[in-house]
């Protein structure tokens, strides 16, 4: 584990349209002690060729042998990570310049193992909606069951304060939410950094834009992943729907 180093894990699959913008937001970071782990999940477009044009030694290309999905791809990046901190970024999202500097300073002040931040939605061209997604100061396991407010590209872990085995993503649908729940269930608290650290680019073809599918995924997580009873699942589900609608209205 390299002190102060941030390992940034990015799953890549047919991301040629947005990849250069995303990589540039990492290169523009005011916090310069990072390694960028780009894990290509057998892309069939020019994603790999684009990555190979970057000569910065902090950028590392990792090739999966077979297409395995986001969870397995992120986990490969976690295995390869050598930093004191592990952060996540999707291949189509856009970080603010001070994302790493400010959020890591926040984590040092709070002495926390798990942090997430506010963010703004953007359209497929990266233009911000101007609407900030507000987050709570802290989030426990029981609170997280009611509110899927933690967004993957906002998350940073301090690996001096938690075991790497705890942060691997389960290979299920909505693997990120399942992962946060699993970590929080161990007694960790997620600390909310109330600063916009990235733009969440959304397109009409985005998986998360399919509202019915998202509802099914969360319900299945309650029942199959967390093995909650139907009444307690329904209780949490009502809050989940309320908070999701509120977030859409804010947007």
Distance from C-alpha of 112 to C-alpha of 199, rounded to nearest angstrom: 24
Residue 70 in any domain: the answer is: yes
Residue 138 in any domain: the answer is: yes
Distance from C-alpha of 193 to C-alpha of 211, rounded to nearest angstrom: 27
Instruction: Label residue 212 by pLDDT band (50, 70, 90).
Output: confident
Count of residues in the chain? 251
Distance from C-alpha of 250 to C-alpha of 159, rounded to nearest angstrom: 34
Straight-line distance from the first to the last Cα atom of the chain, in angstroms, rounded to the nearest whole number: 39
Residue 99 in any domain: the answer is: yes
CATH at 142: 3.90.550.10
Residue 171 in any domain: the answer is: yes
Beta strand segments in 57-139, E: 59-63, 83-88, 94-95, 114-122, 128-133, 138-139
Could you give the residue ranges of the DSSP H alpha helices within 14-64?
A: 19-27, 47-52
The range of the structural domain enclosing residue 54 comes to 2-205
- Asked which of 126-135, 156-165, 221-230 is least confident by mean pLDDT, the reply is 126-135
In the predicted model, is pLDDT for residue 63 greater than 50?
A: yes
Distance from C-alpha of 8 to C-alpha of 228, rounded to nearest angstrom: 33
pLDDT digits (tens, 9 = 90+) for 140-166: 999 999 999 999 999 999 999 999 999
Q: Tokens 């390694």 label which residue?
A: 35
Residue 216 in any domain: the answer is: no
The token pair at 166 is: 């705890």
Residue 57 in any domain: the answer is: yes
Query: By C-alpha distance, which of 183, 160, 31 is closest to 85?
Result: 160
**pLDDT of 208:** 45
DSSP state, residue 181: H
Instruction: Label residue 203 by pLDDT band (50, 70, 90).
Output: low
Q: Tokens 């996540």 label which residue?
A: 88
Residue 148 in any domain: the answer is: yes
* pTM of this prediction exceeds 0.85: yes
pLDDT digits (tens, 9 = 90+) for 162-199: 999 999 999 999 999 999 999 999 999 999 999 999 99
The token pair at 149 is: 């407010």
Per the structure, the count of domains in the chain is: 1
């Amino acid at each position: 584990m390299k002190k102060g180093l941030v390992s940034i894990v990015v799953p890549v699959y047919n991301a040629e349209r947005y990849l250069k913008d995303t990589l540039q937001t990492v290169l523009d970071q005011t916090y310069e002690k990072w390694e960028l782990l780009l894990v290509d999940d057998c892309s069939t477009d020019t994603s790999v060729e684009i990555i190979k044009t970057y000569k910065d030694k902090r950028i590392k290309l990792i090739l999966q042998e077979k297409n395995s999905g986001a969870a397995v791809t992120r986990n490969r990046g976690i295995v390869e990570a050598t930093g004191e901190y592990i952060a996540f970024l999707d291949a189509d999202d856009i970080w603010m310049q001070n994302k790493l500097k400010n959020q890591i300073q926040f984590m040092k002040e709070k002495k926390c193992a798990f942090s997430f931040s506010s963010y703004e939605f953007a359209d497929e061209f990266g233009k911000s909606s101007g609407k900030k997604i507000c987050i709570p100061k802290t989030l426990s396991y029981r609170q997280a069951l009611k509110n899927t407010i933690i967004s993957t590209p906002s998350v940073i872990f301090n690996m001096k304060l938690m075991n790497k085995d705890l942060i691997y993503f389960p290979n299920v649908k909505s693997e990120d939410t399942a992962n946060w729940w699993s970590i929080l269930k161990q007694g960790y608290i997620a600390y909310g950094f109330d600063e916009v650290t990235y733009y969440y680019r959304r397109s009409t073809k985005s998986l998360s834009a399919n509202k019915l599918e998202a509802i099914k995924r969360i319900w299945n997580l309650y029942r199959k992943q967390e093995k909650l009873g139907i009444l307690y699942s329904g209780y949490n589900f009502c809050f989940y729907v309320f908070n999701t609608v509120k977030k859409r209205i804010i947007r």
